[in-house]
Amino acid sequence: MNTQLWIDNRAVPALEGETLDTPNPATGELLATLARGRREDVQIAVASSKKAFPGWSRMDPNERARILWKAGELILANLEELARLESLDTGKPIANARAIDVPRTADTFFYFSGWATKLTGDTIPVRGPILNYTLREPLGVIAAIIPWNFPLLLAARKVAPALAVGNTVVLKPPEEASLSSLRLAEILAEAGVPPGVLNVVTGLGEEAGAALVEHPDVAKISFTGGTDTGRIIMRAAAGTLKKLSLELGGKSPNIVFGDADVEAAAKSAVQAIFYNQGQLCTAGSRLLVERRVLDQVTEIVVSGTKGLVSGDPLDPKTQMGPLVSAAHRDRVENYIAAGMVDGATCRAGGGSHGPGFFVEPTVFADVNPSMRIAKEEIFGPVLAILPFDTLDDAAALAEDTEFGLAAGIWTRDIGKAHVLASRIRAGTVWINTYNRFDAASPYGGYKQSGFGRENGRAVLEELTQLKSVWVNLG
């Protein structure tokens, strides 16, 4: 398959001919050699997307809709290949890639295909003999920068809505896992996306990514990744006053009250943290449990964690694969060591093993809110369990974080659930469920989890701008 840059619907090597190796996380062995795009490659890609913009933005929206729908169909037709690629490149269990990553990617194209013909302006009753109306217009070239945890799905979340409303896109996939983005671009070309409408520049964040952020012909950066990288991008984007949306990190509270269906809550809590090896921005990494059911919940969580099947990501029975890279494994190991040193009790896991970058799903009890494992985003398979006594305690603990991405609430008391849902400052709140997403429902962060929204109608407003037109009827 293509491991070069993708520009004008063709695979091309990086100008300097440089490459980057990417390992298979399950074995540590070389998986692919990618082109290492740099500033000059970004310039070519942006120029191509700028050139493609007038044609694509003025295309009959019915035609744009048909192309995006076709893309969704081709993604489903290639489900097995895409699932295998994503599993090999990221280490995620293939069962999850088959059931979630690829079908949700197709859904995203189907959903936004419909919007191509439905975004409208307003007529406005202003003073005088005037017709005043608004036009909702695309921005131009969008730079989409994505992380490695759900590369295919996150690429779709950025590319599908941007293209639906007439923008063109330069996609910078993560250096750890670029293969599905490159394959997606081929599929979009097959669906009828014209040359230049979607270009892909593989490479490093501080090289290709930074060049995109600084490029004067890029209208907007749509970024998903770490909070520290978000800060760097925000500073760099100031030079050209770019529009930004930032989907950043999280340290999400998953709150279990004593009046909940405790067994369902505890079983779900295992999935909430360990799905995708904990490499999920919304991972329920802080399990807050009402003290009267603390022992019961902890026992179920510990036994559920010990029962997770770890192994070869390509084996359909595997529930836990490796982490994405050796560097990320080392980072997660450091947090586990910090949890032990700080005095938390490790109730499950705690170890790591090779070949590949496997870390055991790890549960810490007796966690104090000031410990690093309770405060910082680990982005790995590490759960911190903390007790609380009252609804106010739960709300205060939930809020004791710089992040505001998501929260879970488990209770049979509907009033309590809604009161807490309105009090927690997070972009998503799940009640008696966790980690549900849909292309139709807006998604994004409060506080330092970022700003801007993806999915739903909300993202379309961020990918367009309003023009007010005044017509003298006098």
For residue 152, the minimal CB distance to ligand NAD (Å) is 12
Helix (H, G, I), strand (E, B) or coil at 179: helix
Can you read off the two tokens belonging to residue 453? 């929204």
321 binds ligand NAD (CB under 6 A): no
Q: Give the integer Cα–Cα distance in Å for 108 and 160.
A: 7
* DSSP code of residue 287: E
Cβ proximity to ligand NAD, 64 vs 242, nearer residue:
242
Distance between CA atoms of residues 343 and 248, nearest Å: 29
- Give the C-alpha separation, 158 to 444, whole Å: 13
Q: What does 3-26 look like in DSSP terms, one character per residue?
A: -SEEETTEEE--TT--EEEEE-TT
- Binding-residue pattern over the window 60 to 99 for ligand NAD, x denoting contact by CB under 6 A: ----------------------------------------
Alpha helices for 309-412 (secondary structure H): 326-341, 372-375, 391-399
Q: Which C-beta is closer to ligand NAD: that of 285 or that of 411? A: 285
432: alpha, beta or left? (left if phi > 0; alpha if psi -120 to 50): left
Does position 45 bind ligand NAD by CB under 6 A? no
Give the tokens for residue 270. 């295992």
Work out whether 456 is an interface residue with ligand NAD (CB under 6 A): no
Binder among 82, 377, 398, 410 for ligand NAD (CB under 6 A) = 377
Which residues belong to the active site?
Answer: 247, 281
Which residue in 363, 357, 416 sits closest to 92, CA to CA? 357
Query: Minimal distance in Å, beta carbon 140 to ligand NAD?
Result: 19
Q: Are 400 and 394 in contact (CB under 8 A)?
A: no
CB of residue 68 to ligand NAD, shortest distance in Å: 22
From residue 415 to residue 454, what is the string marking binding to ligand NAD with x (rule CB under 6 A)?
Answer: ------------------------------x----x----
Rounded to whole angstroms, the Cα distance separating 132 from 118 reads 20
Residue 149 in contact with ligand NAD, rule: CB under 6 A: yes
DSSP H stretches of helix in 342-408:
372-375, 391-399
- Judged by CB, which is closer to ligand NAD: 364, or 379? 379
CB 283 within 8 A of CB 268: no
The 197-216 site mask, x for binding ligand NAD (CB under 6 A), equals --------xx--xx--x---
Centre a 10 Å sphere on the Cβ of residue 70 and count the other Cβ atoms it contains: 18
Least distance (Å) between residue 180 CB and ligand NAD: 13
Nearer to ligand NAD by Cβ, of 74 and 171: the residue is 171
Separation of alpha carbons 280 and 95, rounded Å: 17
Contact characters 211-250, ligand NAD, x per CB under 6 A: --x----------xxx--x--xx-------------xxxx
Q: Is 320 in the site for ligand NAD (CB under 6 A)?
A: no
284 binds ligand NAD (CB under 6 A): no
Which of residues 142, 152, 179, 405 is near ligand NAD by CB under 6 A? 405
Omega before 174 within 30 of 0, i.e. cis? no
Q: Does 326 bind ligand NAD (CB under 6 A)?
A: no
Give the interface with ligand NAD as residue ranges (CB under 6 A): 145-149, 172, 174-175, 205-206, 209-210, 213, 224-226, 229, 232-233, 247-250, 281, 377, 379, 405, 445, 450
